[in-house]
Amino acid sequence: MHPVTVFLFGRLGRGEDTVEQEERCYSAYHCRADTDNLNRMDSVINEVVKPLQKRIEELEKLSMKKFPEVRKLPEIERKRILITGGAGFVGSHLVDRLMEDGHEVTVVDNFFTGRKRNVEHWIGHPNFEMINHDVVNPLMIEGKYSMMDMRIYFVPCLPDSPQT
């Protein structure tokens, strides 16, 4: 026989919770009955949990994003680069080239003429960061980047001038 710890929950007269702990030895019959109940509970839980686990695996496969190939540069060679207008036509091509070369790239764009779809294949990559910001306003960069070790590429955006 195996000792089993049983917790009995009750109420005192003043409404306070108490726990009384007892150790009891069950007979082989009770242990077998408890094992059967546990096995039935396991099978019921598995009926519910297995489909959920499969669905989670399917969703994880869908959400695992594949990024374009990038070079693995040593820390000393890898540059931290900020590109203004990086979601535009010219800027996005510059982003692609620098990312493929293995650098860390931060894109700052207000999406006035640039499009997120131009750089969306990099979103989520550990070497890529996207900031929705208008460079007319000051930008404070915090975190792993400092202005001392960052190169800045300014890609000017000149929207079409109105026809006169």
Q: Which one of 11, 34, 63 terminates a domain?
A: 63
Q: Is the pTM of this model over 0.85?
A: no
Say whether pLDDT at 47 is over 90: no
Mean pLDDT of 59-74: 80
Please tell me whether residues 132 and 93 are part of one structural domain: yes
Say whether pLDDT at 17 is over 60: no
| Helix boundaries (H) for the chain | 28-63, 89-100
Please tell me whether residues 9 and 44 are part of one structural domain: yes
Please tell me whether residues 91 and 150 are part of one structural domain: yes
Mean pLDDT of 57-74: 80
pLDDT at 55: 84
Please tell me whether residues 94 and 147 are part of one structural domain: yes
Look at the block and give the residue holding tokens 């960052």: 150
pLDDT at 22: 44
Please tell me whether residues 148 and 96 are part of one structural domain: yes
In order, the DSSP letters of 123-160 are: TT-TTEEEEE--TTS-----TT--GGGEEEEE----PP
Please tell me whether residues 89 and 49 are part of one structural domain: no
Domain region containing 87: 80-154
Task: Evaluate whether residue 163 is within a structural domain.
Answer: no
Residue-wise pLDDT tens digits, 122-154: 998 999 999 999 888 888 776 655 555 667 767
Our count of domains for the chain comes to: 2
Say whether pLDDT at 11 is over 70: no
Q: Which one of 31, 63, 95 terminates a domain?
A: 63
Please tell me whether residues 9 and 37 are part of one structural domain: yes
Residue-wise pLDDT tens digits, 74-92: 988 999 898 999 999 999 9
Mean pLDDT of 88-111: 93
**CATH code of the domain in which 94 resides:** 3.40.50.720
Please tell me whether residues 132 and 88 are part of one structural domain: yes
Using left for φ > 0, alpha for ψ between -120 and 50, and beta otherwise, residue 124 falls in left
Mean pLDDT of 53-82: 83
Please tell me whether residues 92 and 125 are part of one structural domain: yes
Please tell me whether residues 52 and 85 are part of one structural domain: no
